[in-house]
């Protein structure tokens, strides 16, 4: 006679095998999505960090190659170090040192030795001095800046010496955009894993983490040289300037000193007072919208350092 085995019943409320397998599957999917989420955030932040480190590293070979194959003239050196106004100031001092322009108390006039038909390299600025020099160096600056072609700044941006305005605006999203898209995709994957309450909580936490995942790489990128603040000179551009300043000979012309450091860098104080007068020194002042201050701020659009076209001219060689 066979005895029937007692049937063991699961406690009330305990998940059956199929339910238990379902929860294990959901947990595995959640873990997978969180791993992908962390990987995407790490790659986005890490890529931005690596780009920032590479931008600030010493690059003597790059600087040497650039200066050997495409040396900067006086105007472009001034433009790189302090903007359009500094470039104009350097050229004015150069004309004074060459005896083509007379200066006194910040007012400028053509020298009797100035040629009646100067070469094209000098003509545009000498013409500005003739018409506006009596009103002071600031009037010459403002008039001359409208004759600086946009192509001068565009070429310097293409060479990697300055960061163009459009790139300054869009660069923070180069790493932040893909990172945000990636973590958002992982979050939606979590939500599709199972509509259970704990999955929804996990997805909500993931959404809250979107903001640091996107903001951190954007802030890292914006902190790279030239990408924010008043000075758009890139890491390479600043390295070039450091090299030029280090190699500046003791007998360098006053115009070269102005191009690298403004009027404050001049050794001849009498000449500085004669040309500068009471006007402020020049410096870069772009990138802060309506908060821009300084002599370059109002002149940057006229010089082409924005999204608008400007009149062409002959600002350099």
| Residues written for the chain | 317
Proportion of the chain above pLDDT 70, given as a percent = 79
pLDDT of residue 151: 79
* Residue pLDDT, tens place only, 63-72: 988 888 888 9
First to last CA, the chain: 114
Please determine, for residue 290, whether its predicted confidence score (pLDDT) is greater than 50.
Answer: no
Which of 30, 52, 42 is CA-nearest to residue 226?
Answer: 52
160 Rama class: left (phi>0) / alpha (psi -120 to 50) / beta:
left
Burial classification of residue 40, based on how many CB atoms lie within 10 Å of its CB (0-12 exposed, 13-18 middle, 19 or more buried): buried
* Residue pLDDT, tens place only, 105-130: 999 999 988 887 788 888 899 999 99
DSSP state letters, 266-308: -S-HHHHHHHHTTPPPP----SSGGG--STTTTTTTTTT-SSS
Please give the Cα distance from 256 to 65 (Å, whole number).
21
pLDDT of residue 56: 83
* Average pLDDT of span 204-210: 88
pLDDT band, very low/low/confident/very high, at 55 (cuts 50, 70, 90): confident
Please determine, for residue 163, whether its predicted confidence score (pLDDT) is greater than 50.
Answer: yes
Question: 232-242: b or e for each residue (b if 16 or more CB lie within 10 Å)?
Answer: bbbbbbbbbbe
Neighbours of 283 (CB within 10 A): 18
The model's pTM: 0.76
pLDDT band, very low/low/confident/very high, at 147 (cuts 50, 70, 90): confident
Please give the Cα distance from 173 to 169 (Å, whole number).
9
* Residue pLDDT, tens place only, 73-112: 999 999 999 888 899 999 999 999 999 999 999 999 999 8
pLDDT of residue 146: 81
Please give the Cα distance from 141 to 108 (Å, whole number).
11
* Average pLDDT of span 305-315: 41
Please give the Cα distance from 119 to 130 (Å, whole number).
15
Please give the Cα distance from 60 to 76 (Å, whole number).
20
pLDDT of residue 193: 67
Q: Are 162 and 233 in contact (CB under 8 A)?
A: yes
What dihedral do alpha carbons 70, 76, 81, 87 form, nearest 10°? 170
* Residue pLDDT, tens place only, 221-257: 988 998 888 888 999 999 999 999 999 999 999 999 9
Please give the Cα distance from 48 to 40 (Å, whole number).
12
Q: Are 258 and 89 in contact (CB under 8 A)?
A: yes
Neighbours of 223 (CB within 10 A): 15
Top pLDDT among 249 and 28 is at 249
């Amino acid at each position: 006679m066979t005895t029937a085995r007692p049937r063991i019943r699961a406690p009330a409320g305990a998940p059956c095998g199929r339910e238990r397998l379902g929860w294990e599957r959901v947990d595995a999917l959640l873990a997978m999505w969180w791993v992908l989420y962390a990987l995407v955030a790490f790659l986005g932040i890490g890529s931005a960090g690596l780009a920032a480190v590479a931008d600030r590293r010493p690059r003597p070979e790059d600087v040497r190659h650039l200066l050997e194959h495409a040396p900067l003239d006086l105007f472009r050196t001034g433009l790189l170090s302090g903007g359009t106004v500094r470039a104009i100031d350097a050229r004015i001092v150069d004309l004074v040192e060459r005896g083509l322009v007379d200066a006194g108390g910040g007012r400028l006039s053509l020298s009797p030795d100035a040629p009646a038909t100067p070469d094209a390299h000098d003509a545009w600025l000498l013409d500005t001095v003739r018409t506006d020099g009596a009103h002071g160096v600031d009037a010459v600056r403002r008039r001359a800046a409208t004759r600086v072609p946009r192509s001068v700044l565009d070429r310097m941006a293409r060479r990697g010496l300055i960061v163009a305005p459009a790139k300054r605006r869009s660069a923070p999203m180069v790493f932040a955009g893909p990172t945000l898209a990636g973590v958002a995709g992982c979050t939606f994957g979590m939500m599709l894993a199972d509509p259970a309450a704990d999955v929804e909580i996990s997805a909500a936490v993931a959404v809250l983490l979107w903001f640091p995942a996107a903001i951190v790489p954007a802030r890292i990128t914006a902190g790279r040289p030239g990408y924010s603040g008043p000075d758009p000179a890139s890491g390479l551009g600043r390295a070039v300037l450091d090299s030029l300043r280090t190699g500046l000979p003791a007998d360098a012309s006053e115009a070269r000193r102005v191009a690298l450091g403004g009027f404050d860098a001049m050794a001849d104080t009498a000449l500085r007072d004669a040309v500068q007068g009471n006007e402020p020194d020049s410096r870069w002042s772009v990138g802060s919208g309506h908060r821009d201050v300084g002599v370059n701020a109002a002149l940057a659009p006229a010089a082409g350092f924005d999204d608008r076209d400007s009149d062409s001219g002959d600002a350099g060689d």
